[in-house]
Structure 1
Amino acid sequence: MLTVNGINVYYGAIHAIKDVSFHVDEGEIVTLIGANGAGKTTILHTISGLLRAKTGEIKFQNQSINKIEPHEILKMGIAHVPEGRRIFAQMTVLENLQMGAYTRNNKEETNNMIEMVFEKFPRLKERINQLAGTMSGGEQQMLAIGRALMSKPKLLLMDEPSMGLAPILVQEIFNIIQEINAAGTTILLVEQNANMALSIANRAYVLETGKVVLEGNAKELLGNENVRKAYLG
């Protein structure tokens, strides 16, 4: 579904992503793990079109998306749940979800998607008219995921969904990620909680200072002694 082939990304003179290649097959959960500053978020931003690779190629369903604008990439079927949630704090829960469907013109379809999100996240339905910025961190994360689902993505990019959440909510969010995947959405997950990420993923890539240093079956990497020492404590 997604092929990233030898991309190099720069911030000015800083070489942030160095010849990174990986792929995501349809139906998979693939995770990118690594320490802060390893380049995980930069890779997601480059896939979304928010950053541009200087060299290399990104293909989605065999079509190059290197030079496509972010809103067009969204229309193609790639949605992004950003680090830090980035919900519209001064809008209500309902308005945030409607914003997630801005590429769709069918009002009935949008309403059906809202109901689907509310089935998955009953707490959001309870807070339908509440300003998003007044909700708890866990509820805001659910809203960020729900907003992304409103575009009916084929591929969901998720950046640090467990960040800042209490352990009991982390488990809930990861259960939801598995449910979304089981319902047919392919997921590329960036997560500092390597233990949780590897426990639900099919495959994983380990990043260090902008390079892929290890890849393989997620369960095997979970048992890898070097990975355990470096990322699992």
Structure 2
Amino acid sequence: MAMLEIRDLEVYYGVIQAIKGISFDVNEGEVIALIGANGAGKTTILHTITGLLSAKTGSITFEGQDITKIPGYKIVSMGMAHVPEGRRVFSELTVLQNLKMGAYTRKDKSEIENTLKSVYKRFPRLEERQNQVSGTLSGGEQQMLAMGRALMSHPKIILMDEPSMGLSPIFVNEIFDIIREVSESGTTVLLVEQNAKKALSIADRAYVLETGNIVLEGKASNLLNDDSIKKAYLGEV
């Protein structure tokens, strides 16, 4: 049984159908990439999985439990974290306050400090700036904060939406190194990313979306060498 199972999912914005009956799986320990052009439906899928949007039909199952109609805050407490597009840090709060917000659903209060230490170990820059107001951080530092905040919930799976958006090449490399580390530490990752080459380079498997449909799927290494993928998403002819 897969950790996360999406079956026949349909999502609408009013009368506009954004997701058209897709199905896919995410197995424990995998990095799964969703790639595709803007408007393909990638963010909509993540928002529906995490309860921010409602599915019209289909089902979402997490560790054997149907979560299709479960509110987002309950989904977080079940072990799912979401790093949203655009970071969405609490700009008027400090770095430390943002991180503590990530642990608000946890009941193991004595272990939160240990998680904080592990986040600081992974993101030394956050520890250096823990008392700094988050809105004054650079884009790359805010992305690290958004990822650290998600990790504070001690998730079994983390959903990341466009983590490299708007970042300098140096920060992009750093962020993808961290995603790889997160995966290697045992957290499953579902990654939405415009930088298809980077996403496929760290993913185990990938799904290619076009206008709400999955049009291609397979091992990430195979897709990285697929001529149609190279032409459409990797800037190669």
Residues in 2 aligned to 1:106 and 1:75: alpha-carbon distance in whole angstroms: 12
Residue 120 of structure 2 aligns with which residue?
Answer: 118
Deviations 1:115-149 (A, max 9, x none): 11000000000001000000000000000000000
Q: Does 1:83 align with 2:85?
A: yes
Distance in 1, Cα, partners of 2:128 & 2:145 = 12
Measure how far apart 1:9 and its partner are.
0.1
Q: Which amino acid aligns with 2:54?
A: R
Match of 2:69 in 1: 67
Query: In the alignment, what sits opposite 1:160?
Result: 162
Q: What's the secondary structure of 1:86's corresponding residue?
A: coil
RMSD over aligned Cα atoms: 0.6
Partner of 2:212: 210
Deviation at 1:151, TM superposition (A): 0.5
* Residue 111 of structure 2 corresponds to residue 109 of structure 1: yes
| Partner-residue secondary structure (3-state), 2:217 | strand
The reply to whether residue 30 of structure 1 matches residue 40 of structure 2 is: no
Match of 1:193 in 2: 195
CA distance, structure 2, for counterparts of residue 70 and residue 106 of structure 1: 20
Distance across 2 between alignment mates of 1:118 and 1:212: 37
Give percent identity, aligned residues only: 65
Aligned residue identity for 2:194: Q
**Equivalent residues in 2 for 1:88-103, closer than 5 Å:** 88-103=90-105
1:34 CA drift (Å): 0.1
Q: What code does the residue aligned with 2:214 have?
A: V
Residue 102 of structure 1 aligns to a residue whose secondary structure is coil
Q: TM-score, length-normalised on structure 1?
A: 0.99
162-171 vs 107-116, greater mean Cα deviation: 107-116
Which digits, 9 at most, give the CA deviation of each residue in 1:164-192, with x for residues without a partner? 00011101000000000000000000000
| Distance apart, 1:51 and its partner CA | 0.5
| Aligned structure 1 segments of 4 or more residues deviating by more than 3 angstroms | none
Question: Structure 1: how far apart are the matches of 2:81 and 2:108?
Answer: 18
Give, in whole Å, the separation in 2 of the partners of 1:144 and 1:18: 30
Structure 1 letter corresponding to 2:30: E
- SS for the counterpart of 2:24 is strand
Give the AA of the match of 1:191. E
Aligned-partner residue type, residue 60 of structure 1:
F
1:180 partner amino acid: V
In the alignment, does 2:10 pair up with 1:14?
no
CA distance in 2 between counterparts of 1:106 and 1:199 reads 36
Q: CA deviation at 1:109?
A: 1.2
C-alpha distance in 2 between matches for 1:193 and 1:124: 25
102-111 or 38-47: which moved more?
102-111
Q: Kindly indicate whether residue 237 of structure 2 is the aligned counterpart of residue 221 of structure 1.
A: no
Question: In the TM superposition, what is the alpha-carbon distance from 1:193 to its structure 2 partner?
Answer: 0.1
Gaps of 5+ in 1: none
Q: 1:105, 1:62 → 2: CA distance?
A: 22
* Superposed displacement of residue 99, structure 1: 0.2
Give the 3-state SS of the residue equivalent to 1:169 in structure 2: helix
> Partner letter of residue 166 of structure 1?
S
